[in-house]
Amino acid sequence: MSGSGKQTALKAFEDLGFYAVDNLPIAFVPKFADLSRDTKTRRRAALIIDIREGAVLQQFPKMFRELRKRLDVKLLFLDADDEVLRRRFSETRRPHPLGAETTVLSSLKDEREQLKPIRRLADLSIDTSKLNVHELRALISANFQDTQENNKIVVYVNSFGFRHGVPADSDLVFDVRFLPNPNYIPEFKKLTGRHPRVARYIRSFPQTGEFINRISELLIYLLPHYIREGKSYLTISFGCTGGHHRSVLIADEIYKRLKKAGYTVKAHHRDTGKA
């Protein structure tokens, strides 16, 4: 139904890795489905079909039944109470697709009647009357997420030096300057936190292990929540004074913990080459 949250749903599918298309002409749907199946990646696709198709919409039930015989397809029908839909049109000040010549409620009644044959084919119907954007996205994710892609988020773990500024793209920033600074030890000054002797020195303090454990637990707790909210990547930055020692060691350790937990992780040490 118009105003039921189709664009929000399509965006949710896109975040799940679907190839998402809005308002593809019905005549192209079977060919598009075959192309999606034949690609090397076999990428899943999600399409919006709605009242904007006009009279051609009558062809959809027959076409969909034929498609269902040879492909794994599912039909999701989005709906909401008429009064809720009327209010949404009023708030957005957009005309109903069937035109502005009649009232929105009259257009909705006409639309609902035209969509009856399609609704009867639906594998799943979602009433969005009492759902906000986040709740609808969560429902889409719960019903259509590939269980093998539960950890589908890319985590960027950065080290940096506060002396050179905080990375602008950081989502989470942790200051590790509370740890003893190896820079004050002459033999460590020109090395980085990746050198075994420097790493051993930083790990020798109990607060280092405690911090790594606690931050790892926090991030592993947070990441599923970020995924449910549709976040596809997260940038976590660890900073020390110059970005050579403490932040490098911590970033590497967090990288290992998140990798072990099954996440796609990329590490970057921004300031190790700077004076």
Per-position pLDDT tens, the chain of length 275: 999 999 999 999 998 888 899 988 998 998 888 887 775 656 789 999 999 998 899 999 999 999 999 888 999 999 999 999 999 998 888 889 998 788 999 999 999 999 999 999 999 999 999 888 888 888 888 788 765 555 578 899 999 999 999 998 899 999 999 999 999 999 999 999 999 999 999 999 999 999 999 999 999 999 988 887 777 789 999 999 999 999 999 999 999 999 999 998 999 999 999 98
d(CA 146, CA 135): 19
157 strand-pairing partners: 236, 267
Query: What's the distance, CA 249 to chain centroid?
Result: 29
Instruction: Supply the pLDDT for residue 71.
Output: 87
Q: Specify the pTM.
A: 0.57
Which of 112, 146, 180 is at the close of a domain? Answer: 146
Residue found by looking up tokens 């040490």 in the block = 269
Instruction: Supply the pLDDT for residue 121.
Output: 93
With beta carbons less than 8 A apart as the criterion, state whether 18 and 230 touch: no
Instruction: Supply the pLDDT for residue 201.
Output: 97
- 128 and 171 assigned to the same domain: no
- 138 and 161 assigned to the same domain: no
**What is the domain extent for residue 44?**
6-146
- 125 and 182 assigned to the same domain: no
Whether 54 is in a domain gets the answer: yes
Whether 96 is in a domain gets the answer: yes
Instruction: Supply the pLDDT for residue 270.
Output: 93
How many domains does the chain fold into? 2
Whether 140 is in a domain gets the answer: yes
Whether 109 is in a domain gets the answer: yes
Whether 21 is in a domain gets the answer: yes
- 159 and 248 assigned to the same domain: yes
Instruction: Supply the pLDDT for residue 93.
Output: 82
Cβ neighbourhood burial of 12 (10 Å; 0-12, 13-18, 19+): buried
- 21 and 136 assigned to the same domain: yes
CATH number at residue 64: 3.40.50
